[in-house]
Amino acid sequence: MTHTDSETLGARTLRDIRRDFAAFATTGDDRPTAYLDSAATSQRPSAVLDAERDYLEHHLAAVHRGASAATGASTTLFEEARADVARFVGAGEREVVWSQNATDALNMVALGIADASAGIGGADAARFALRPGDEIVLTEAEHHANLLPWQRVAQRTGARIVPVRVDEHGRWTVDDVAALLTERTRIVAFPEVSNVTGQIAPVAEVAELAHRHGAFVVLDACQSVPHRHVDLAAYGVDFAAFSAHKMLGPNGIGVLYGREDLLDALPPARTGGSTITKVTLEEAHFLPAPHRFEAGTQPVSQAVGLGAAVRYLESIGMDAVAAHEESFAERVVDGLAAIPGIRIVGPQPGERRAGLVSVAVDGVHAHDVGQFLDDAGLVVRVGHHCAQPLHRALGITATTRASAHVYTTAEEADRFVAAMGEVRGFFGLGRKVS
């Protein structure tokens, strides 16, 4: 499969899309750096930067506080961004909570469940309570953000972590999950797309299985919402988290999705101003979702920027985005498969994967690979990618990851493959592959 800069993504060409990003402006005849680290953080188009700047220059005011016209206008923009995000992921507006980032959002769920297990939140929150011997099912492929919070919950409640093991390539299946579910299963948490392997999980199938056992489903959607059509309500998950900075949006803001009835019952992880209906010196009564979770001053300009990022992605079309990025992955995997000494992690050649590829190079540490690629003008991610248990299961310390977004080109994919063909020869471990 091939694609070019004149390829159409939705109603636009790839060349036109790249013009929206100042990061890809070229000067003279220099070949630009290839940015292949969008799974870590994405570049931002002018539409996002302009929206945030316009808010800061012309509409800056507190939200949900006071009765001034300025506050009302600022609040309107803030809540319009929430509506944009809700529409984008198939959620109701009351089901979208602003957080600092996806890690923060996952901690909000975990801490709320820990509080409910301690009796906080009353009868409504009792549905979340965990007891000694209850089980939290997680995959061995989790990002630490969807592992460490559950470890803490298990320590506080006496519940235990039950891992879904991966195979020699880092993959797991619905059957692997089904084999572990019992009457003690209370939470099933997993990524829709692994940030290391690029595996695309069958979310709705796993959610249905989990619900048959009465478990809550928590989805790490960080690597899916920015790159493919996601409908959280149709998936049937109970909670989900994703970050703006991976979807062409600002840093400093993420999203917690939760079913409306569950959010209204979950104890808020942080308390303070703007979350309450009544406060005495002895107790507080909290607002319904989403505001019960949004204590203190909110990231208003970031929310406005995220709303603009959503509209930008919608103008391209998420099916087009997914097809473009999966084409990148296919091109890279097929090229790397022909190079001796390179181990491809995750789905193998011919198998579907999202737009990221992680590899290990025989005899060369990922950090050295990354330095070689950096010298060749290729920006990638190296390390364990906040997934140490997965790398340990695969018997490797670290991997090198190349990842795509709407602006990534076929030429950049080919440059990455060609450079990888030179790595082992450069370090004296075999002939160079041209």
How is 353-408 classified by DSSP, letter by letter? --SEEEEEETTB-HHHHHHHHHHTTEE-EEE-TT-HHHHHHHT-S-EEEEE--TT-
pLDDT at 198: 98
Q: Are residues 233 and 278 in the same domain?
A: yes
- Side-chain half-sphere of 71: how many Cα atoms within 13 Å? 8
**One-letter identity of residue 338:** A
Q: Are residues 324 and 304 in the same domain?
A: no
For residue 2, being part of any structural domain is answered with no
Mapped onto helix, strand or coil, the DSSP state of residue 171 is: coil
Mapped onto helix, strand or coil, the DSSP state of residue 132 is: coil
Q: Which two tokens stand for residue 279?
A: 């406060």
Range of the domain at 376: 8-44+317-426
The pTM of this model reads 0.95
Q: Which two tokens stand for residue 257?
A: 């999705």
Q: Are residues 293 and 170 in the same domain?
A: yes
Q: Are residues 69 and 152 in the same domain?
A: yes
Please give the backbone phi and psi of residue 95, each rounded to the nearest 5 degrees, phi first: -100, 5
Q: Which residues are catalytic?
A: 386
Instruction: Give the burial class of 299: count Cβ atoms within 10 A of its Cβ; 0-12 exposed, 13-18 middle, 19 or more buried.
Output: buried
**What total number of domains does the chain contain?**
2
Q: Are residues 277 and 351 in the same domain?
A: no
For residue 431, being part of any structural domain is answered with no
Which residues partner with 135 through β-bridges?
Answer: 160, 185
Tell me the CATH number at 123.
Answer: 3.40.640.10
Q: How many CB atoms lie within 10 A of CB 411?
A: 13
Q: Are residues 326 and 396 in the same domain?
A: yes
pLDDT at 61: 87
- Distance (Å, whole) CA 299 – CA 78: 9
Pick from 314, 334, 365: which residue ends a domain?
Answer: 314
pLDDT at 71: 86
Please give the backbone phi and psi of residue 278, each rounded to the nearest 5 degrees, phi first: -150, 135
- Distance (Å, whole) CA 328 – CA 409: 8
Check whether the bond before 290 is cis (ω within 30° of 0): yes
Residue with the two structure tokens 């103008």: 315
Buried b (16+ CB within 10 A) or exposed e, 118-141: eeebeeebeebbbeeebbbbbbbb
For residue 433, being part of any structural domain is answered with no
For residues 77 and 62, the answer to whether their CB atoms sit within 8 Å is no
Q: Which two tokens stand for residue 30?
A: 């220099």
pLDDT at 214: 97
Check whether the bond before 299 is cis (ω within 30° of 0): no
**One-letter identity of residue 396:** I
Q: Are residues 29 and 118 in the same domain?
A: no
Q: Are residues 175 and 309 in the same domain?
A: yes
pLDDT string in tens for the chain (434-residue length): 444 566 888 778 999 999 999 999 865 556 678 999 999 999 999 999 999 999 999 998 888 877 788 888 899 999 999 999 999 999 999 999 999 999 999 999 999 999 999 999 999 999 999 999 999 999 999 999 999 999 999 999 999 999 999 999 999 999 999 999 999 999 999 999 999 999 999 999 999 999 999 999 999 999 999 999 999 999 999 999 999 999 999 999 999 999 999 999 999 999 998 888 999 999 999 999 999 999 999 999 999 999 999 999 999 999 999 999 999 999 999 999 999 999 999 999 999 999 999 999 999 999 999 999 999 999 999 999 999 999 999 999 999 999 999 999 999 999 999 999 999 999 999 755 44
Which residue in 170, 213, 164, 169 sits closest to 189, CA to CA?
164
- Distance (Å, whole) CA 330 – CA 130: 43
pLDDT at 16: 94
Q: Which two tokens stand for residue 312?
A: 């930008």
